A and B are shown apart, each in its own frame.
Chain A
Amino acid sequence: EIVLTQSPGTLSLSAGERATLSCRASQRISSISLAWYQQTPGQAPRLLIYGASNRATGVPDRFSGSGSGTDFTLTIARLEPDDFAVYYCQQYDNSASLTFGGGTKVQSK
């Protein structure tokens, strides 16, 4: 099973600042096999990025994804109030064993 480790666990930033979230895989995965989700309290996750760098429909362009191999990054260019949430990465390199990272909480400083 591919283990995804997200860091940091918590990120404390102010609105307008840049957020950089990391997702590291326990083994190399295809660069098209990584997705990112946003989850606010009491809500279902929302797809942000698929294929490591493709924004889902309706996702603002301040969200961007990058990376390859074992290291992937989600960047939020300028945080807005609605962006304070928990973010999860997910791999689908092995479609019989999909796994998620433990999440990064982006909170207001």
Chain B
Amino acid sequence: QVQLVQSGAEAKKPGSSMKVSCRASEFGSATITWLRQAPGQGLEWMGRVIPILNIVNYAQKFQGRVKITADKATNTAYMEMSSLQSEDTAVYYCARGRDWFGPWGQGTLVTVSS
């Protein structure tokens, strides 16, 4: 089964940017999706990438502020977010799948604080 390993926790200042990576054991024809979960809150879909087709979709809420990419050579997907605010403090997950998701990466905690 595909395994997903994410980059480590980050601390960011308001207004800065972040970039989280997600390395897969293999991409194949899979879709990699990004989601997030604010502390004590539910899950939020951010967008997806189909590496083999270079197709990317974003949730409307994140359009223009998030960039999702994939490097087929290293089987690594990336999620970049700009103009960070305290409300962006969350655990960010990558997961395999277009519509339903499994398996998931272990999550990356991003804390935005001055």
Contacts A50-B100, A95-B98; is A100 near B60 (CB within 8 Å)?
A: no
Contacts A47-B100, A50-B100; is A100 near B106 (CB within 8 Å)?
A: no
* Chain B residues with CB under 8 A of A56: 102
Kindly state the separation between the CA atoms of A57 and B57 in the bound complex, as whole angstroms: 27
Q: Which of B43, B60, B103, B106 contacts A97 (CB 8 A)?
A: B60
Interface range, B side: 20 to 34
| Consensus secondary structure, chain B interface | loop
Pair A44/B45 contact, Cβ less than 8 Å: no
Kindly state the separation between the CA atoms of A68 and B99 in the bound complex, as whole angstroms: 17
* Chain A residues with CB under 8 A of B93: 44-45
Is residue A18 within 8 Å, beta carbon to beta carbon, of the partner chain? no
* Chain B residues with CB under 8 A of A47: 97, 100-103
A: residues with CB less than 8 A from B are: 33, 35, 37, 44-47, 50-51, 56-57, 88, 90, 92, 95-103
Task: Please list 9 pairs of residues, one from A and one from B, whose beta carbons are closer than 8 Å in the complex, sorted by A's number.
Answer: A37-B43, A45-B104, A47-B103, A50-B100, A96-B57, A98-B59, A100-B45, A102-B42, A103-B42
Beyond known contacts A44-B106, A50-B100, A95-B98: 12 more, CB 8 A cutoff: A35-B101, A45-B104, A46-B102, A46-B103, A46-B104, A47-B102, A47-B103, A57-B1, A90-B101, A95-B57, A96-B60, A98-B45
